[in-house]
A and B are shown apart, each in its own frame.
Chain A
């Protein structure tokens, strides 16, 4: 299964943009890139996903490198409520094994 690599932790100031990187150099051509986040004491929640093109939704934007070996989750204006662990995962074609890894713990400073 393809793996993802994320920094263990990042910090951001409130109301500033945050760029959370993810490396997935062994990604297959049909693997989707998904992002989830886990707020304290809660189950993970879906943030965004993409395949090749950049994606936007009400929560965030996803920028995918042209060679698909990396991606970046962009929170346009971080709030204190965005403090969470963010997981970048690959959803392989042909199976439904969502392998989460350890994620990036985002700390938002007031």
Chain B
């Protein structure tokens, strides 16, 4: 029972490089989202999606792109990495059935360092 899978778990980038953080879930959840967590801080919402072809911005969307072409996958793209994007990134998903009572399931996180 895989749940929410994030890859890679660790990544080091140089300033200006691009990369994609992958997130996949096998629970047929319509809702998926990306958060970042800086040291000693809480989680901040970057982008979220309520279904294939539908995405929306969270609290801190600048510098990140997302797309949702399938129910299972929700990749997060950094087009030109900056040191300020050094963080731990978490992907989460939930079923939309049940309205606002649904439980979020989180991945184990991806630690990104931008030099």
Binding site for B on A (CB under 8 A): 30-32, 36, 42-46, 49, 85, 87, 91-93, 96-103
Contact across chains for B41 and A96 when beta carbons are under 8 A apart: no
Given contacts A46-B103, A91-B100, A101-B42, 17 further A-B contacts (CB under 8 A): A31-B100, A32-B100, A32-B101, A42-B109, A43-B4, A43-B109, A44-B104, A46-B104, A46-B105, A49-B101, A92-B100, A96-B33, A96-B96, A97-B59, A98-B45, A100-B45, A102-B41
Name the prevailing secondary structure of the A interface residues. Answer: loop
- CB A95 to nearest CB in B, in angstroms, measures 8
13 CB < 8 A contacts A-B = A43-B90, A43-B92, A44-B43, A44-B90, A44-B92, A45-B106, A46-B103, A46-B104, A92-B100, A96-B48, A99-B45, A99-B59, A100-B35
Is B58 located at the chain interface by the 8 A CB criterion?
Answer: yes
State A43–B23 Cα separation when bound (angstroms): 14
- CB A100 to nearest CB in B, in angstroms, measures 4
State A32–B99 Cα separation when bound (angstroms): 10
- CB B75 to nearest CB in A, in angstroms, measures 18
Contact across chains for B100 and A103 when beta carbons are under 8 A apart: no
Residue of A nearest to B107 (CB): A43
State A44–B44 Cα separation when bound (angstroms): 13
Binding site for A on B (CB under 8 A): 4, 31, 33, 35, 41-45, 48, 50, 58-59, 90, 92, 96, 100-101, 103-109
Which chain B residues lie closer than 8 Å to A100 at the CB level?
35, 42-45
Contact across chains for A44 and B106 when beta carbons are under 8 A apart: yes
Which chain A residues lie closer than 8 Å to B109 at the CB level?
42-43
- CB A102 to nearest CB in B, in angstroms, measures 4
- CB B92 to nearest CB in A, in angstroms, measures 7
- CB B28 to nearest CB in A, in angstroms, measures 17
State A49–B109 Cα separation when bound (angstroms): 24
